[in-house]
């Protein structure tokens, strides 16, 4: 047996807004949508799933407070990506910077 990929599932209280964020804001592609309950977003060779829930994920505040992340997206030009996100109206973030491990990152928050 070989594991060939992984798919993360993110919970959201507003599926339509989350789809808009990932497609219009980040430029990713809607792979599929099942009614107003579930959707798949394609990012290159990966897909992330969005699941509508009735209550806000309680881990969001914990993760935000600890300066952690639920999802990292990789790009070949972090500065250009950060500029594109800003032009697309993606709010809350920090300018690109060198992170531990040598990666360049620019933080953005979905909702």
- Look at residue 26 and tell me if it is in a domain: yes
Task: Give the model's pLDDT for residue 111.
Answer: 45
Mean local confidence (pLDDT), 54-81: 70
Residue showing tokens 């250009």 = 80
37: which DSSP letter?
Answer: T
* Cα 66 → chain centroid: 18
- Look at residue 65 and tell me if it is in a domain: no
- Look at residue 111 and tell me if it is in a domain: no
Per-residue pLDDT tens for 24-58?
A: 988 899 999 999 999 999 988 889 999 999 887 77
The token pair at 3 is: 């594991």
Q: Note whether 84 and 43 are same-domain residues.
A: no
- Look at residue 89 and tell me if it is in a domain: yes
- In terms of pLDDT, which residue wins out, 26 or 92? 26
């Amino acid at each position: 047996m070989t594991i060939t990929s992984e798919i993360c599932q993110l919970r959201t209280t507003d599926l339509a807004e989350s789809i808009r964020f990932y497609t219009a804001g980040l430029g990713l592609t809607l792979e599929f949508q099942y009614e107003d309950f579930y959707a798949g977003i394609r990012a290159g060779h990966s897909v992330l799933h969005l699941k509508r829930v009735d209550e806000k994920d309680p881990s969001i505040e914990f993760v935000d407070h600890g300066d952690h992340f639920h999802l990292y997206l990789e790009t070949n030009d972090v500065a250009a990506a950060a500029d594109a996100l800003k032009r697309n109206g993606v709010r809350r973030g920090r300018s690109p910077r060198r992170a531990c491990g040598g990666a360049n990152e620019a933080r953005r928050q979905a909702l």
